Amino acid sequence: MKKILLCCLFIGIMNSIYTQTGKYFTAESSKCKVVKVFIDSRVQQFADNGIRITWDGDCSNGFASGKGTLYVFCDTKSDGKFGILYEGTLAAGKKSGYGWLVVFDPLNGQAINEQIPFFSFLYRYEYKGSFKNDEFDGYGEFTTNYPYPLPASASESDIAANQRLRLYMPFWRTDIYFSEYKGNFVNGKIADTGNGTGITSRMKWFANTVRYTGAIKKGIPNGNGRIDEANVFPLPNEQSFLAASGNFVNGVLNGYGKETGRYFEYEGEFLNGVREGKGKLTFYEWSADKPNGYLNYSRKLSSIVEGDFKNGNANGFCTIYYQNSAAYKYTGPMKNGDREGTGEVEFLDGSKFRGNFRSGVRVGSGSRQFADGSRFSGEYMNDKPVNGTMYYKDGAKYEGGFTSVEEVDRSGKKINMYKRHGSGTMTEKDGRRYNVNCNNDNCTETN
């Protein structure tokens, strides 16, 4: 379809100063034939007044051959208005071997002299690398200033040029379009297999700059690779990341991999792009009592999560290491990022809690062994002791209601203690037993 459009476009061009014989174009000075001139529909748009072609290399059997420079001006004027520059090797009128191709963009109709100045804002495409039969073929480096993705009104030629540098990234559930790609090409497109590096400053939904380096198969990351982002903007639900590396299958991480975000780092197993299996999750910073990261994990002040992951969250047996908290470590089951089931918490002062958790808080039966030798055993509600027995280190004990939770800062200072609250019974170390009524640990004996 592209070739048909080209032919139809040029048949009606009047006052043209090039000679066309069949599918060939002839340079005006050397009379050497060139097979393909245009690779972009924007060039065609500006050719309605004729074009001018020059070639300063050799001819072989009437065709441009060997090393040289090819200029294409989409205007019959001597200064030209818009053009294509190719420096490299031609064989039988076709770009072949190593070459440098630049497709320039018009500057609001401003003329461009034949010695085209090279500034990045002037060109649409630039390619340095290997050619075969007028197509990118072999290793090459491609850059473009063209905005991707294309508008709905784009021509078939523009769409074709766009598609050859398209890479589907299920990781973002969208296509990304490279503004720069370094790697292997076959017949004008990114090779189906091999390794390459692609950089895009425009994505379908995100305004991020993305770099992918690694193995590609049929236009999709497959094999060992790495994705990096720059100028990252916060995504919905804080699910932004800076880098991902590991084994890709059909564009997403599968097997062992590593993911680094603004405030977190995960290293471990993935399944279909989400954390699944054994892994380690580290949070860097906190905001409003929850980690700024990818997981829906809302417990206070955790810094590292190690263990089983499923559907992107901690699920199964895990270990949490805390920072800036009374607690030092949690060991036990997790469900959707929260402590769930029977687990154990170790505190900075050496004390321990073992009991039941539900949705991350202590609920039901549990026991607390304090560093001074005293021990609590009883019932918890909403993370606080409500009823139980405190065994003191001197042999006394209290049975009854409780309130508050002990907290110890990094210096070891005790902020709150388990406090007797409500009715209860005291048993002194000498065996004397009596009823009490307590308010925040202030107890009065009752009859």
pTM over 0.95: no
**Residue 112 pLDDT class (50, 70, 90 cuts):** very low
% of the chain residues with pLDDT over 70:
60
Alpha helix (H) residue ranges in 20-155: 41-45
Tell me how far CA of residue 76 lies from CA of 5, 72, 307, in angstroms. Answer: 22, 10, 71
Mean pLDDT of 413-429: 81
Burial of 370 (0-12, 13-18, 19+ CB in 10 A): buried
Tokens standing for 49? 């007044």
Tokens standing for 298? 């809302």
Alpha helix (H) residue ranges in 240-299: none
The answer to whether residue 179 scores a pLDDT higher than 80 is: no
**Residue 154 pLDDT class (50, 70, 90 cuts):** very low
State the pLDDT at residue 211: 74
Distance between CA atoms of residues 251 and 343, nearest Å = 37
**Residue 300 pLDDT class (50, 70, 90 cuts):** very low
Do 80 and 112 contact (CB within 8 A), yes or no?
yes
Of 15-19, 21-25, 103-107, 225-229, give the range with the top mean pLDDT: 225-229
**Residue 70 pLDDT class (50, 70, 90 cuts):** confident
* pLDDT, tens digit (0-9, with 9 covering 90-100), for 432-445: 999 999 988 889 99
Distance between CA atoms of residues 101 and 185, nearest Å = 15
Distance between CA atoms of residues 91 and 97, nearest Å = 8
